[in-house]
Amino acid sequence: MPRGDGLLTHELDPADAGPQDACGVFGVWAPGEEVAKLTYFGLYALQHRGQESAGIAVSNGRQILVYKDMGLVSQVFDEATLESLQGEVAIGHARYSTTGASVWQNAQPTFRPTAQGSVALGHNGNLTNTHELVQLLRERTAGDPKSAQAETATTDTSVMASLFASYRDRSVEDAALEVLPKVRGAFSLVFMDETTLYGARDPQGIRPLVLGRLERGWVIASETAALDIVGASYIREIEPGEFVAIDQDGLRSSRFAEAAPKGCIFEYVYLARPDTTISEQRVFSVRERIGRKLARTAPVEADLVIPVPESGTPAAIGYAEESGIPFGHGLVKNSYVGRTFIQPSQTIRQLGIRLKLNPLRDVIAGKRLVVVDDSIVRGNTQRALVRMLREFGAAEVHVRISSPPVKWPCFYGIDFASRAELIATGLSVDEIRRSIGADSLSYVELDDLIEATNVPGDNLCRACFDGVYPIELPDDDLIGKHLLELPANGTEPLKVIQ
């Protein structure tokens, strides 16, 4: 069966890519269990975080076997493949590319041989000092005959894996503890050698990472929803700056950096599943509280509150309950159109948002609608949605957004549009309202969003809303998705070597 090329068309409007999710990682140490199948179901629960490629690495105690390919988890793996992946420890990864192209070579887990065995690594996040790490890798591998072979992967993850493997006289654990203090940016990691599962989280804890317990083992995952699906009990979050190792001697923890928490606030708005818990807060409840705040700060006379499914649903419920306006489903989402490798023809592409959403005419006709969505990036999706609702008979369309205006790109693992493409960069709220054709438009205030999370504002990264980046960024030519594929400063491309 031919594999896809990773060019997914999962946006509501194929011409208006929304904020693309960070990756999902999962790891399990459980002798006597079917660790590959546990990892498969864990990745299935994390599929929303990345749909370009998926992979699983398994060790039987003697060697690591990696299987990965382009596509969704359900497309990459079948029963026979999972049966062939036998072992006691496994890691898995569902990818959306934030550094490096969406090609097979960049699919994860990333595998490297080491002097004492091998290492497989999965990464959620995005590094900001990749150029420094490449130079360090060049220095460490200078004079090594194996370094003459150029690595085809072009990701910050491949740089980390190669650095872990470059310490010939050290174990993977010792090498990681040497490398991690030198790494900057967002990274929630699961990795493994032949016998041990490891997890690590950057000092800011920008991306989530949690620890769970099985009856006969341990689990590390991006979200608590992945623990639930495999029957693991939630123990705690991996702390910012923490390194954990799990093997036959149990779990041990150490710290490679002091914690300076700056969790991503956009996880609460959009990225995480609503049934996930972050910082002891159920994401669904946070989004519902955001909707209530929107109803208080941006009231309007209307007949019906409808969400843009599914990310707008909890906030729409909160808005309806607080305002007293009835909640209803005025849009039906086709969850499968677009989750495919078949690219739509130009004729079908012109249907735009109708590939994904279909209005219920008898529900919305003649009604004054409050439409709740999670964010506006370029505005194309909302413009098409408002037009479609009017075509189906809506009397008024009032748009309410459960995040502040997105004005700044993310360099920590979310692939937003560039700043020049963000509609909120150059337009006022009223200008955006006119652009999308709504009768009214309101966003939640940043202070209200922070309050809804029940997390201190100083412990949250809000850079996409306020432009304050908690981790220093390098010069523009030393950061970006294709850094390792393009020449830097007029020199040779920053190729990773193995």
User: What are the pLDDT digits (tens) for 125-155?
Assistant: 999 999 999 999 999 988 675 653 445 446 8
Q: Is 193 exposed, middle or buried (0-12, 13-18, 19+ CB in 10 A)?
A: buried
| 388 three-state secondary structure | helix
Q: What is the phi/psi pair of residue 106, to 5°?
A: -95, 0
Per the model's pLDDT, the better-predicted residue between 15 and 270 turns out to be: 270
Least confident of 181-195, 280-294, 298-312, 346-360: 346-360
Residue 376 has pLDDT above 60, yes or no: yes
Contact of 298 with 442, CB cutoff 8 Å: yes
pLDDT at residue 364 greater than cutoff 60: yes
**For residues 376 and 498, which has the higher predicted lDDT (pLDDT)?**
376
Helix (H) or strand (E) segment spanning residue 134: helix 130-141
Closest residue by Cα to residue 263 from 457, 115, 488, 402: 457
d(CA 278, CA 183): 24
57 or 352, greater pLDDT: 57
Name 413's Cβ contacts closer than 8 Å, sequence gap at least 6.
22, 23, 98, 124, 125, 126, 186, 206, 207, 264
Residue 475 annotated as lining a ligand binding site: no
What's the CA gap between 254 and 246, in Å, rounded? 12
Give dist(CA 175, CA 152) in Å, integer: 23
pLDDT of residue 490: 38
pLDDT for 493: 45
Say yes or no to pLDDT of 54 above 50: yes
Tens digits of residue pLDDT in 256-265: 999 999 999 9
**Tokens 């008024």 belong to which residue?**
396
Tokens 């060697």 map to which residue?
A: 63
Sheet with 440-443: list strands edge to edge. 304-307, 368-373, 396-401, 440-443
Q: What is the structure's pLDDT at 52?
A: 86
Q: Residue 434 above 60 pLDDT?
A: yes
Q: What is the mean pLDDT of residues 490-497?
A: 41
Query: Is there a catalytic annotation at residue 23?
Result: yes
Q: Please identify which of the residues 23, 300, 305, 357 carries the catalytic annotation.
A: 23
| pLDDT confidence bin for 476, thresholds 50/70/90 | confident
Q: Is 5 annotated as a binding residue?
A: no
* Dihedrals phi, psi of 488, to nearest 5 degrees: -105, 120
264 a known binding residue?
yes
Residue 368's pLDDT band, with cuts at 50, 70 and 90, is very high
For residue 2, pLDDT over 70 is answered with no
Separation between Cα atoms, residue 200 and residue 203, nearest integer Å: 9
How many C-beta neighbours within 10 Å does residue 390 have? 18
Phi and psi at residue 61, in whole multiples of 5°? 100, -15
Q: Is the pLDDT of residue 337 over 70?
A: no
Distance separating alpha carbons of residues 71 and 313, to the nearest angstrom: 27
| Residue linked to tokens 């990310």 | 311
Contacts of 144 (CB under 8 A, 6+ apart): none
Percentage of residues in the chain having pLDDT higher than 90: 75
Q: Is 410 among the annotated ligand-binding positions?
A: yes
In the prediction, which pLDDT does 1 show? Answer: 36
The label of the residue with tokens 């491949």 reads 158
**Separation of alpha carbons 103 and 41, rounded Å:** 23
Residues 178, 200: Cα–Cα separation, whole Å: 13
pLDDT at position 482 over 60: no
Give me the mean pLDDT over the 157-184 stretch. Answer: 95
Instruction: Tell me the pLDDT of the chain averaged across its residues.
Output: 88
Rounded CA gap, 29 and 139, in Å? 34
Question: Is 169 annotated among the ligand-binding residues?
Answer: no
What pLDDT is stored for residue 474 in this prediction? 87
**Global pTM exceeds 0.85:** yes
How far, in Å, CA of 133 to CA of 29, rounded? 29
Q: What is the pLDDT of residue 370?
A: 98
Does residue 13 carry a pLDDT above 50?
A: no
Q: What is the pLDDT of residue 492?
A: 44
Give the integer Cα–Cα distance in Å for 282 and 348: 38
pLDDT band at 349 (very low <50, low <70, confident <90, very high): low
Give residue-wise pLDDT tens across range 379-426: 988 999 999 999 999 999 999 999 999 999 999 988 776 888 899 998
For range 482-487, the mean pLDDT: 48
Task: Assess contact for 433 and 406: CB atoms under 8 A.
Answer: no
Please enumerate in sequence order all residues whose Cβ is within 8 A of that of 347, keeping only pairs 6 or more positions apart, or say none: none
Alpha helices in 324-409 (DSSP H): 346-349, 361-364, 380-391
Residue 212 Ramachandran class (φ > 0 left, ψ -120 to 50 alpha, else beta)? beta
Q: Is 461 annotated as a binding residue?
A: yes
User: Angle CA(9)–CA(13)–CA(19) in degrees, nearest 5?
Assistant: 75
Say which range, 19-23, 88-92, 219-223, 338-342, has the weakest mean pLDDT. Answer: 338-342
Query: In this predicted model, what pLDDT tens digit does every residue of 22-52 receive, in sequence order?
Result: 699 999 999 999 999 999 999 999 999 988 8
Closest CA to 43 of 82, 84, 83, 3: 82
Decide if pLDDT at 322 tops 90: yes
How is residue 150 annotated by DSSP?
B
